[in-house]
């Protein structure tokens, strides 16, 4: 048999791929391994002798279109093999983009073939073997391939699916795929493969639009319709107003003009002050969104493109299967319990807090668990807090809260503090319940002043915040902290160190609250400048990024009045909810990392901890050296 015939026979035999079932959460996290979900074309890379073919799910031949990938499949270390994976076009950030893949004819972008399975190897059908064996063989045959090539093994990992999902979403990926340990490969949609998406996405019938301006023919937003069941009628599903460029807005208006009708075709469309233009459903829009609202509409929609292969009639609501797990399933919000933690009622306890991957209830219980250790570091201090805002690219991210204004649970105390230009009302947490109250407010980071509310003008500590540039290795950060300690010691000051949950370290010097802010800032500024003078290759004291590469910023401005630093045992607003942790100096080694502990692992550390890593910190009675004052 020639290689071409062999190839045909192999495709015939194993050409049907396995697909994943959409779920909201993975039911038995430990029974699965996790991979990132790549957004591209599902492609089998088939090789038989000298013949190579790239085959899509519908058996279309993509060998020519993806010639660079085909070339690399030819170099795989096997006579016959079938690779299963996803061919993607990467954008500038290295994130796969479906839109880019579709428009590739216009702008050349490089293709990457993320492979995750091996279905056939040298005459043997591997699909009956457990996934672990298939992966091992996959690595063996692909690892020999030129490392600069387009084939990349999609890595699999174990752990908390919500944390992995949070990481994937943070990177701008579509979601994750869970594969059951020990499972065989079986064509079609099977429960051994699950997918969890960051954002939902499906097709909607276009049932009208809102003009951008009364005067111009451009689409401001599309009105969308969807069916609840294949045989049911279309109903209103919301409107989508973002995701179009200017050209598309005009083009859509032109396409919709001939379809216009006087009255809405769908019953429950809002009136929109009668500016809405209704159309006979003909076009189908692909729309991404976060979730379905109680009222059957979509939240945070964004237009992805028109679907020419679908009709309005085929637009049926796709709901993910609920997970079987009671701990992570999303029950109807109305019926959801409101558990109490230390007397604080927690709303939406199972809501996952972006970008940590941790639920609100987990966060509340975390502060309950570490409260006894955390409170001495926080009690009495004015706070700055960080929440996470969803929404448009520009306004997504950490939101800093300083002033109490109307909000804030009653368990928190309020104090008025003079600022440079006005009077601000700050929150103070004096009890563990108050920390839980912050969790109820979705607070992901708790930052404290270096003075107490009852003596705001006299700091009771100074903080040396060591911020390494991205290219500084950890061992240099460790060296820097130890140097800070030594030099403080030479000035007669004892210091203590903590991780930050990020990349750097904090070195703290407790003080008798006598010196004022000017003196504390002056001392730390002089100290930082001395470090820079003595070793300008390692340290900077200036904030602008371009002067920092390869160096560590000795950020003395943490000690400016009204400035704060992240509190001991506060979580950070990052994937996996890392935590700032006080450590003993002899724990500060090359093996540690600043994000070594997270919301889960730090609780174990505290439970096992036999002696206080910060022994003596709260009893220290130190003053800044006379020369500095």
Catalytic residue numbers, as ranges: 37
The Cα 588–Cα 582 span in angstroms is 10
Nearer to DNA, 191 or 536 (CB): 536
Q: Which residue is nearest to Mn ion (CB)?
A: 555
The least CB distance from residue 555 to Mn ion, in Å, is 4
Contact present, 109 and 90 (Cβ < 8 Å): yes
Nearer to DNA, 231 or 394 (CB): 394
The least CB distance from residue 301 to DNA, in Å, is 9
The footprint of DNA on this chain (CB under 7 A) covers a number of residues equal to 49
Contact present, 111 and 98 (Cβ < 8 Å): no
- List of residues contacting Mn ion (CB under 5 A): 465, 467, 504, 555
The Cα 322–Cα 314 span in angstroms is 23
The site partner of 478 among DNA, Mn ion, none (C-beta below 5 to 8 Å per kind) is: none
Nearer to DNA, 270 or 536 (CB): 270
The Cα 160–Cα 165 span in angstroms is 9
> Taking CB under 7 A as the criterion, which residues in 524-563 touch DNA?
525, 542-545, 553, 555, 557, 560-563
Look up residue 528 and give its two tokens. Answer: 């930082």
The least CB distance from residue 469 to DNA, in Å, is 9
The least CB distance from residue 240 to Mn ion, in Å, is 40
Nearer to Mn ion, 63 or 499 (CB): 499
Contact present, 39 and 209 (Cβ < 8 Å): no
Sketch the per residue contact string, 382 through 401, with DNA: x for CB under 7 A, - otherwise.
--x--x-x-----x---xxx
Contact present, 44 and 54 (Cβ < 8 Å): yes
Q: Does 295 bind DNA (CB under 7 A)?
A: yes
Nearer to Mn ion, 359 or 598 (CB): 598
Backbone angles phi, psi at 292, to 5 degrees: -90, 135
The least CB distance from residue 346 to DNA, in Å, is 9
The Cα 194–Cα 27 span in angstroms is 10
Q: At what angle do helices 517-534 and 474-490 cross, to 10 degrees?
A: 120
The Cα 350–Cα 165 span in angstroms is 15
Q: Does 354 bind DNA (CB under 7 A)?
A: no
Contact present, 227 and 316 (Cβ < 8 Å): yes
Q: Does 297 bind DNA (CB under 7 A)?
A: yes
The least CB distance from residue 376 to DNA, in Å, is 24
Kind plus residue range of the DSSP H or E element containing 367:
helix 360-378
The Cα 142–Cα 55 span in angstroms is 18
The least CB distance from residue 156 to DNA, in Å, is 32
Q: Does 442 bind DNA (CB under 7 A)?
A: yes
Closest CA to 387 of 439, 443, 427: 443
The number of beta carbons lying within 10 Å of the beta carbon of residue 395 is 9
The Cα 271–Cα 253 span in angstroms is 19
Out of 467, 509, 539, 582, point to the residue binding DNA (CB under 7 A). 467
The site partner of 387 among DNA, Mn ion, none (C-beta below 5 to 8 Å per kind) is: DNA
> Taking CB under 7 A as the criterion, which residues in 241-270 touch DNA?
270
Sketch the per residue contact string, 561 through 600, with DNA: x for CB under 7 A, - otherwise.
xxx-------------------------------------
Look up residue 84 and give its two tokens. Answer: 């299963």
Contacting residues for 154 by C-beta, under 8 A, at least 6 apart: 35, 36, 38, 85, 86, 114, 115, 116
Nearer to DNA, 27 or 468 (CB): 468
The site partner of 407 among DNA, Mn ion, none (C-beta below 5 to 8 Å per kind) is: DNA
Kindly list the residues in this chain that would bind DNA in the complex (CB under 7 A).
238, 270-271, 273, 293-295, 297, 299, 334, 347-348, 351, 360, 384, 387, 389, 395, 399-403, 405-407, 409, 419-422, 424, 440-442, 465, 467, 525, 542-545, 553, 555, 557, 560-563
């Amino acid at each position: 048999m020639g290689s071409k015939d062999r190839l045909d026979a192999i495709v015939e035999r194993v050409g049907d791929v396995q697909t994943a079932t959409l779920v909201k959460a993975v039911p038995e996290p430990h029974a699965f391994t996790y991979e990132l979900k790549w957004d591209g074309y599902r492609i089998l890379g088939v090789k038989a002798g000298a013949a190579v073919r790239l085959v899509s799910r519908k058996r279309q031949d993509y060998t020519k279109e993806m010639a660079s990938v085909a070339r690399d499949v030819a170099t795989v270390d096997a006579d016959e093999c079938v690779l299963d994976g996803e061919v993607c076009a990467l954008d500038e950030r290295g994130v796969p983009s479906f839109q880019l893949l579709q428009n590739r004819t216009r702008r050349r972008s490089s293709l990457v073939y993320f492979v995750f399975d091996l279905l056939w190897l040298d005459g043997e059908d591997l699909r009956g073997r457990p996934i672990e064996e298939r992966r091992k063989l996959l690595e063996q045959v692909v690892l020999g391939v030129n490392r600069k090539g387009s084939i990349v093994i999609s890595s699999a990992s174990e752990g908390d699916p919500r944390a992995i999902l949070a990481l994937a979403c943070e990177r701008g990926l579509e979601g994750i795929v869970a594969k059951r340990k020990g499972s065989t490969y079986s064509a079609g949609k099977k429960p051994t493969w699950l997918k969890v998406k960051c954002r939902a996405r499906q097709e909607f019938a276009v049932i009208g639009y809102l003009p951008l301006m009364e005067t111009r023919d451009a689409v401001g937003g599309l009105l969308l319709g969807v069916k609840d069941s294949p045989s049911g009628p279309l109903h209103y599903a919301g409107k989508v107003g973002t995701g179009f460029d200017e050209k598309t807005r005009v083009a859509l208006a032109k396409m919709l003009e001939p379809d216009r009708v006087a009255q809405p075709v769908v019953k429950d469309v809002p009136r929109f002050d009668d500016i809405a233009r209704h159309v006979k459903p003909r076009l189908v829009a692909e729309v991404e969104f976060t979730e379905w609202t109680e009222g059957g509409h979509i939240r945070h929609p964004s237009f992805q493109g028109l679907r020419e292969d679908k009709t309005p009639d085929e637009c049926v609501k796709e709901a993910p299967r609920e997970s079987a797990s009671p701990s992570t399933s999303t029950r109807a919000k109305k019926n959801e319990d409101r558990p109490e933690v230390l007397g604080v009622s927690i709303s939406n306890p199972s809501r996952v807090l972006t970008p940590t991957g941790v639920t609100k209830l987990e966060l509340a219980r975390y502060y309950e668990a570490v409260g006894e250790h955390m409170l001495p570091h926080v009690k009495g201090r004015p706070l700055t807090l960080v929440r996470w805002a969803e929404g448009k690219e520009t306004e997504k991210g950490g939101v800093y809260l300083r002033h109490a204004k109307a909000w804030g649970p009653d368990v928190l105390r309020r104090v008025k503090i003079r600022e440079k230009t006005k009077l601000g009302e700050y929150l103070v947490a004096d009890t563990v319940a108050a920390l839980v109250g912050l969790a109820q407010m979705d607070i992901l980071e708790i930052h404290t002043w270096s003075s107490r509310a009852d003596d705001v003008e006299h700091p009771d500590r100074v903080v040396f915040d060591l911020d390494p540039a991205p290219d500084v290795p950890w061992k240099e950060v460790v060296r820097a902290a130890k140097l800070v300690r030594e030099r403080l010691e030479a000035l007669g000051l004892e210091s203590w160190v903590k991780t930050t949950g990020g990349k750097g370290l904090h070195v703290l010097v407790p003080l008798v609250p006598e010196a004022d802010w000017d003196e504390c800032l002056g001392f730390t500024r002089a100290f930082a400048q001395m470090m820079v003078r003595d070793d300008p290759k390692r340290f900077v004291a200036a904030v602008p990024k371009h002067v920092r590469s390869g160096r560590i910023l000795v950020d003395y401005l943490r000690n400016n009045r009204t400035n704060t630093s992240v509190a001991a045992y506060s979580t950070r607003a990052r994937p996996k909810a890392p935590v700032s942790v006080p450590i003993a100096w002899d724990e500060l080694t090359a093996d540690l990392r600043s994000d070594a502990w997270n919301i889960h692992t730090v609780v174990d550390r505290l439970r096992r901890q036999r002696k206080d890593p910060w022994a003596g910190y709260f009893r220290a009675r130190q003053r800044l050296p006379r020369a500095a004052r």
